[in-house]
């Protein structure tokens, strides 16, 4: 596995240049600026609400884990482990560490370490940054965020189906119209013996067509032939189209499991498409796998991916227990919302508090505190300036009203209330009536 920290760290002298140049963020890692945050906060709050509606409890795990956590869970012959992990050696103790490229492995590690399953099955959700060293493009970043849920210790098909109903509800809660919602593609990877039989058939088939495979796929033939089906190489699509399909290798039990999931979806009115070629890019799955895909985002259209991973907990050193889950890419979901359900936000600030004259600052601060105690959001003018420039700043602040504590007001023991939006007239009020008067204008 390549280390991304192969170069020696720069010395102090190289970091200090004569004339400082502006530094920029790492390629593929984005700042979220204040103007971006309203929609992020809205999506975070909505997802947390919907997860709670289904009995999921939040969990947070560290951003850095031992590399083995991901190698063991995701699989050595996967794109993520082979080329996308930010892995480095801890200089103090030589430990191999990795910035998490996903969070299922870490949640399972934490559940085993803290014996969570001892108390019974666990429904967990998380939100946070993940890191993959991919080629950045729209919708594909090196630091991105995922909302995910993991149902640990849950083995029955209704849990898979319920997670899909949850996603459908989340689209609805975010205001995405049914026809603009990502489309659900679903498949079954069956049991390991069924996958082994399919794998054998795949190896035989692709070996017979080896000349049609690109170098990557030829290598995968000996390591992970299932992933050849996932190749995006257009030249290989005809040979992939005729390859043996996994659904043909499924036994009765796997079919019954899949039928039960699909039956619930059908009864609940959640549209889906069975896609026998869907294999996912991580090795831990069995039975149900799914992706929610949109064509409103260009090339990176997979908004959510997940499935069942009944073998992972045991593989990570825990007592055998089934599980399933998914993760939603937050940047892609927000991109989708911006395309089809833009957020209408109200003003973030209620009051801009203007003041001038000797000793006005302390009085303005006390007034601001009194207004905040009534639940109002107040920005106090800072740094003096003419009355005209203060009015300009009040207008630009987005606040709904300006409260003015000028020399005249303070001499008269009053405050002026100046609505900044709408038709109401400016008027003076006594300090005791101020909060009520502002509330009347803003709520
Ligand atoms: P995944 O399919 O690798 O699954 O990622 C889930 C979602 O994260 C993707 O569908 C996509 O929306 C988003 N995503 C992935 N890579 C990037 C990227 N470089 N830039 C932006 N968004 C990205 C997992 O991670 C599994 N842990 C899901 C899971 C949970 N399965 C079971 N439980």
**Ligand 1 residue neighbourhood (C-beta within 6 Å):** 102, 104, 132, 134, 140-141, 144, 146, 148, 150, 281-282, 302-307, 309, 325-327, 329, 331-332
Separate counts of helices (H) and strands (E) for the chain: 16, 16
The pLDDT, as a whole number, for residue 442 is 87
Look up the CATH superfamily of 34-190+250-340: Bira Bifunctional Protein; Domain 2 (3.30.930.10)
The pLDDT, as a whole number, for residue 227 is 82
CB 420 within 8 A of CB 385: no
CB 79 within 8 A of CB 223: no
Report the separation in Å between the CA atom of 128 and the middle of ligand 1, taken as the mean of its atom positions: 12
CATH code assigned to 351-442? 3.40.50.800
The pLDDT, as a whole number, for residue 238 is 93
Using alpha carbons, list the distances in angstroms from residue 226 to 189, 193, 278. 10, 14, 10
**Residue nearest to ligand 1 atom 14, measured at CA:** 329
Residue 290 CA to residue 302 CA, distance in Å, equals 10
Report the separation in Å between the CA atom of 430 and the middle of ligand 1, taken as the mean of its atom positions: 57
pTM of the model: 0.90
SS3 131: strand
Report the separation in Å between the CA atom of 102 and the middle of ligand 1, taken as the mean of its atom positions: 7
Q: What is the pLDDT of residues 21-44, one digit of tens each?
A: 999 999 999 999 998 999 999 999
- Boundaries of CATH 3.40.50.800 in the chain? 351-442
- Boundaries of CATH 3.30.930.10 in the chain? 34-190+250-340
Atom of ligand 1 nearest to the CA of 150: 33
CB 285 within 8 A of CB 246: no
Report the separation in Å between the CA atom of 305 and the middle of ligand 1, taken as the mean of its atom positions: 6
Residue 38 CA to residue 344 CA, distance in Å, equals 9
Residue 149 CA to residue 339 CA, distance in Å, equals 25
Atom of ligand 1 nearest to the CA of 282: 3
Q: What is the pLDDT of residues 99-116, one digit of tens each?
A: 999 999 999 999 999 999
**Residue nearest to ligand 1 atom 18, measured at CA:** 140
Q: CB count, 10 Å around CB of 318?
A: 20
Each residue's pLDDT tens digit in the chain (443 positions)? 545 555 556 666 656 657 889 999 999 999 999 989 999 999 999 999 999 999 999 999 999 999 999 999 999 988 999 999 999 999 999 999 999 999 999 999 999 999 999 999 999 999 999 999 999 999 999 999 999 999 999 999 999 999 999 999 999 999 999 999 999 999 999 999 999 999 999 999 999 999 999 998 998 888 888 888 878 899 999 999 999 999 999 999 999 999 999 999 999 999 999 999 898 989 999 999 999 999 999 888 999 999 999 999 999 999 999 999 999 999 999 999 999 988 877 778 999 999 999 989 999 999 999 999 999 999 999 988 888 999 999 999 999 999 999 999 999 999 999 999 888 899 999 999 999 999 998 88
The pLDDT, as a whole number, for residue 279 is 86
Mutation pick for ligand 1 pocket among 29, 61, 133, 146 (CB with most ligand atoms within 8 Å) = 146
The pLDDT, as a whole number, for residue 222 is 86
């Amino acid at each position: 596995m390549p280390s991304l920290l192969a170069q020696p760290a720069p010395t102090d002298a190289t970091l200090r240049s004569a004339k400082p140049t502006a530094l920029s963020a790492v390629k593929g890692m984005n700042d979220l600026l204040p103007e971006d945050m309203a929609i992020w906060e809205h999506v975070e709050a909505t997802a947390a609400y919907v997860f709670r509606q289904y009995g999921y409890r939040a969990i947070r795990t560290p951003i850095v884990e031992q590399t083995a956590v991901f190698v063991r869970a995701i699989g050595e012959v996967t794109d993520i482990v082979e080329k996308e992990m930010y892995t480095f050696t801890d200089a103090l103790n030589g430990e191999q560490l990795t910035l998490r490229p996903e969070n299922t492995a870490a949640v399972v590690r934490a559940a085993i370490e803290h014996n969570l399953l001892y108390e019974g099955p666990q429904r967990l959700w998380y939100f946070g940054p993940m890191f993959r060293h991919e080629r950045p493009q729209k919708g594909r970043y090196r630091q991105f965020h995922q909302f995910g849920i993991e149902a640990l210790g849950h083995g029955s098909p209704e849990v898979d189906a319920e997670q899909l109903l949850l996603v459908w509800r989340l689209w609805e809660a975010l205001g995405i119209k049914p026809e603009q919602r990502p489309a659900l593609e679903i498949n079954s990877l069956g049991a390991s013996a069924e996958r082994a039989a399919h794998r054998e058939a795949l190896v035989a088939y692709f070996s017979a067509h080896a000349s049609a495979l690109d170098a990557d796929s030829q290598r995968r033939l000996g390591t992970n032939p299932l992933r050849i089906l996932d190749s995006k190489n257009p030249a290989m699509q005809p040979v992939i189209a005729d390859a043996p399909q996994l659904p043909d290798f499924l036994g009765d039990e796997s079919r019954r499991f899949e039928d039960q999931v699909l039956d619930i979806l059908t009864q609940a009115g959640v549209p889906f498409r069975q896609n026998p070629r869907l294999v996912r890019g991580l090795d831990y799955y069995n039975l149900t796998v799914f992706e929610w895909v949109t064509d409103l985002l260009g090339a990176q259209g997979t908004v959510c991916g997940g499935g069942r991973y009944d073998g992972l907990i045991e593989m990570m050193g825990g007592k055998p227990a089934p599980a399933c889950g998914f993760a939603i890419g937050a940047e892609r979901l927000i991109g989708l919302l911006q395309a089809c359900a833009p957020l209408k936000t109200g003003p973030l600030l209620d009051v801009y508090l203007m003041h001038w004259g000797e000793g006005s600052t302390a009085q303005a601060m006390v007034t601001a505190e009194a207004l905040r105690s009534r639940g109002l959001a107040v920005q106090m003018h800072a740094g003096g300036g003419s009355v005209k420039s203060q009015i300009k700043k009040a207008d630009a602040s987005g606040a709904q009203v300006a409260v003015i504590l000028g020399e005249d007001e303070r001499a008269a023991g009053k405050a002026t209330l100046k609505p900044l939006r709408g038709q109401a007239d400016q008027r003076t009020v006594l300090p005791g009536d101020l909060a009520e008067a502002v509330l009347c204008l803003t709520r």
